[in-house]
Amino acid sequence: MYKNLPGRPGVVLAAAAVAQFVFALDMSVVNVALPAIRTALGFAPLDLSWIVHIYALAFGGLLLLGGRACDLYGHRRLFVGGLTFFGLCSLAGGLAQEPWQLIAARAGQGVGAAAAAPAALGMLTTTFAEGPRRVRALGVWSAVNAAGGALGLLAGGLLTEYAGWRWVMLVNVPVVAAALALVPAGVPAGRPDRRERLDVLGAVLATGGIGLLVFGVVRTETRGWGSPATVATLATAAALLAAFLLAESKAPAPLLRLGLLRSRWVAGANMLVFLAAAGQFTAFYFLSLYMQQVLGMGAAATGTAFLPFSVSLVAGTVLATRVTAARTPRAALVPGASLAAAGLAWCSFISPGGGFVTDVLGPSVVIGVGVGLVLAPVAAAATTGVTSREAGMASGLFNSSRQLGGCVGLAALATVAALRTGPATDPTALNDGYALGLAVTAGLFVLAAVVAIGVLPHRRTGTPDPQPAAPAENRLEETPS
């Protein structure tokens, strides 16, 4: 439990949403600017991808640690510290003169985001009681998160073309300043009423295991899944994560309490967000490449083409919030995943002689509504039945699942598309690869619908005791269906 100064829920929601927007924006805004960055700073071809990968490595590897630190040291403290560090690293990246400086800045951004992102979600969980108010708050947070990722493509194209590549980094600074300015206006300065020691062994094993997993996956684009280096890296990651689970089962104050995963809400939501993130990231990836490499659209035009998706996603989120508030997250997740799968299946019929209006616009609207129906309630599901003392832990787990889903899914399906394309680079061959990738992505959302049906309970149970007696007694029982 936390001893809090009075807070204002609206301000907490605004601060968390603005922060999540800039984290999502940063995941995609840099991608469009990579060619310009390579020319300006003289990146070697094989080093250029690390501008993207180092951020994913630092962010994904430290999320569990960041989430637990929120529970131990206070959500507001980690939120302010992480967001400030993220903003300073964004400024440093925008001023970089050498490749290593930009890569170091991107790593720093990942560290800051790993502290602030679970803190933002934790603040929402502890501020809004479980029920309709939390559902509405998480709906806003989810819509802003997804819109940030989609608008990042537009912003990246426009900024690179009209202002210069440095602004894809510098644009973060005023957004961070806006989020930080909201903190004194109503974000409560909570602190734990009992200080527990950080699980150092668990932190080392989790960070090492997740970091190596991300590292091994992102290198598959150059080394291949079957290369000895990739196999060795992924095997080491698996060993570290297995050791982490063993250590957590014995730790008195674990980084991740394994009993948390006995909740069907928590376990099911994390499986769902893994699949949904994999589907969302790969849909962006293949559609962006199709429009640029096959249809010949420019960076700015491609970014603008994602606006209908963003609008439909917000519409889906609003609908999902209403459905979830009246019923349960499951009631929106099943039709949402099914609708996203249908849109992606439709999108897999892209053709080399097609166009944006005939091949992309309609499917992207359907996908957007479906993804909106999934992203809004899945966060509510992931925090159902979670006590406030473990809000950061659950938030870190949720964000880790989403980050890993996007990373692993994109790498795996990019490989599937590349195998279909082969060495050819003509529009017809590229179109075949992207079409196959989109079809497989549709299958991910079908699997997400199956998980929602088979794992998530049909109804909520009562909210947990807000003041558990002790960590050992703070058990989240499995929810009956």
Cα(155)–Cα(334) distance, rounded to whole angstroms? 32
Residue among 452, 273, 460 at smallest CA distance from 385: 460
- The answer to whether 431 and 296 are in contact (CB under 8 A) is no
Residue with tokens 């787990």: 397
- The answer to whether 187 and 64 are in contact (CB under 8 A) is no
Cα(378)–Cα(6) distance, rounded to whole angstroms? 28
In CATH terms, the fold of domain 2-189+255-458 is Growth Hormone; Chain: A; (1.20.1250)
- The answer to whether 320 and 376 are in contact (CB under 8 A) is yes
Cα(214)–Cα(407) distance, rounded to whole angstroms? 7
* The token pair that represents 391 in the structure block: 């809000």
Query: Helix axis angle, 329-347 relative to 307-326, nearest 10°?
Result: 150
Residue among 259, 178, 210 at smallest CA distance from 66: 210
Residue 218 makes CB contacts below 8 A (sequence gap 6+) with: 49, 53, 56, 57, 407, 411
Query: How far are the Cα atoms of 82, 199, 405, 447 from residue 76, in angstroms, in the given order?
Result: 10, 21, 27, 36
Residue 235 makes CB contacts below 8 A (sequence gap 6+) with: none
Q: Is 226 exposed, middle or buried (0-12, 13-18, 19+ CB in 10 A)?
A: exposed
**In the chain, helix, strand, coil percent, each to 5?**
80, 0, 20
Q: Indicate the domain borders of the chain.
A: 2-189+255-458, 200-254
* The token pair that represents 365 in the structure block: 């609207």
DSSP-H helix ranges across 219-328: 220-223, 228-250, 264-289, 299-305, 307-326
Three-state DSSP at 448 gives helix
pTM recorded for the entire structure:
0.83
Cα(380)–Cα(456) distance, rounded to whole angstroms? 12
pLDDT per residue of the chain (481 residues) written in tens, 0 to 9: 444 445 688 899 999 999 989 988 887 788 778 778 888 998 876 677 788 878 888 888 888 888 888 888 888 999 999 999 999 999 999 999 999 999 999 999 999 999 999 999 888 888 888 878 888 888 888 878 877 877 787 788 788 878 888 999 999 999 999 999 999 887 877 665 556 778 889 889 988 898 898 888 877 877 778 889 899 999 999 999 999 999 999 888 888 888 888 889 999 999 999 999 899 888 888 898 899 889 988 777 877 888 898 889 888 988 988 888 888 888 899 999 999 999 999 999 999 999 999 999 999 999 999 998 998 788 888 888 888 888 888 888 998 898 888 888 888 888 888 888 888 888 899 999 999 999 999 999 999 999 999 998 876 554 443 333 333 333 333 343 3
